[in-house]
């Protein structure tokens, strides 16, 4: 998502429902994260979830990475506007897979809506294994691929009818590119992560949750 117009449209859009779902899932999964928890947010985009997470957990320190400077610039702007968070959030432009990934034994690994962007989904699970400590809390949320093109059209009509065209197309392409829960389960098994739970959590989202 390197195109500034696309990044702008994404940053301006209202994803509060999906972002709220993500934060609520996390609160249920890990009701009391360790003090000073080190958090990695993969594919943070404009940083809405990153900043909301940092506000909700005032002890945590977050490293948030994204491969598109156009998206990160919106996160940088949001961070500028919130001096209280500046010391606790580090934003890095990194495109996965990357050899310069921080290997810091993160306590918490978050990712929303990145998996379907990766041409090789194994990159997500390798990255997770590389960066997170044993026992780390994992929450990966993404779109779930609908059964057929009619189901895609129905979701686009329900959730993006009034959205700008660039976002409507993004949403449509993303639904087609997304994985079905059984495909994600197979990916996890390949990486020895079969104990993480894959669930359909809305009419268009799935989550991968558990401890590493």
Ligand X SMILES: C[S@@+](CC[C@H](N)C(=O)[O-])C[C@H]1O[C@@H](n2cnc3c(N)ncnc32)[C@H](O)[C@@H]1O
Residues that bind ligand X (CB under 6 A): 1, 15, 43-45, 48-49, 66-68, 71, 95-96, 112-114, 117-118
Q: Which of 59, 62, 166, 57 is nearest to 110 (CA)?
A: 62
Closer to ligand X by CB, 40 or 114: give it: 114
Closest distance between ligand X and the C-beta of residue 142, in Å? 9
Closest distance between ligand X and the C-beta of residue 35, in Å? 25
Closer to ligand X by CB, 38 or 117: give it: 117
Q: How far is CA 119 from the centre of its chain?
A: 16
Residue number of the CB closest to ligand X reads: 45
Q: Which of 115, 116, 135 is nearest to 127 (CA)?
A: 115
Which residues, 6 or more positions from 181, have their beta carbon under 8 angstroms from its beta carbon? 144, 198, 199, 200, 206
Closest distance between ligand X and the C-beta of residue 49, in Å? 5
Closer to ligand X by CB, 35 or 99: give it: 99
Closest distance between ligand X and the C-beta of residue 210, in Å? 19
Q: How far apart are CA 109 and CA 127, in angstroms?
A: 10
Closer to ligand X by CB, 135 or 168: give it: 168
With beta carbons less than 8 A apart as the criterion, state whether 43 and 68 touch: no
């Amino acid at each position: 998502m390197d195109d500034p117009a696309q990044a702008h449209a994404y940053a301006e859009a209202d994803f509060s429902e999906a972002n709220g779902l993500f934060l609520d899932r996390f609160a249920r999964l890990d009701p009391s994260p360790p003090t000073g928890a080190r958090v990695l947010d993969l594919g943070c985009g404009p940083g809405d979830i990153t900043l909301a997470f940092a506000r909700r957990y005032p002890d945590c320190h977050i490293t948030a990475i994204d491969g598109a400077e156009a998206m990160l610039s919106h996160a940088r702007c949001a961070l500028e506007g919130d001096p209280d968070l500046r010391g606790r959030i580090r934003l890095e432009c990194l495109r996965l897979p990357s050899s310069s990934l921080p290997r810091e034994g993160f306590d918490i690994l978050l990712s929303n809506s990145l998996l379907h962007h990766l041409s090789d989904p194994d990159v997500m699970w390798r990255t997770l294994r590389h960066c997170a400590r044993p026992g780390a809390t994992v929450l990966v949320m993404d779109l779930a691929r609908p059964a057929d093109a009619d189901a895609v059209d129905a979701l686009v009509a329900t959730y993006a009818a009034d959205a700008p065209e660039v976002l409507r197309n993004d949403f449509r392409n993303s639904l087609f590119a997304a994985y079905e829960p059984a495909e994600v389960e197979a990916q996890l098994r390949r990486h020895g992560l079969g104990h993480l739970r894959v669930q359909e959590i809305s009419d268009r989202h799935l989550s991968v949750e558990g401890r590493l």
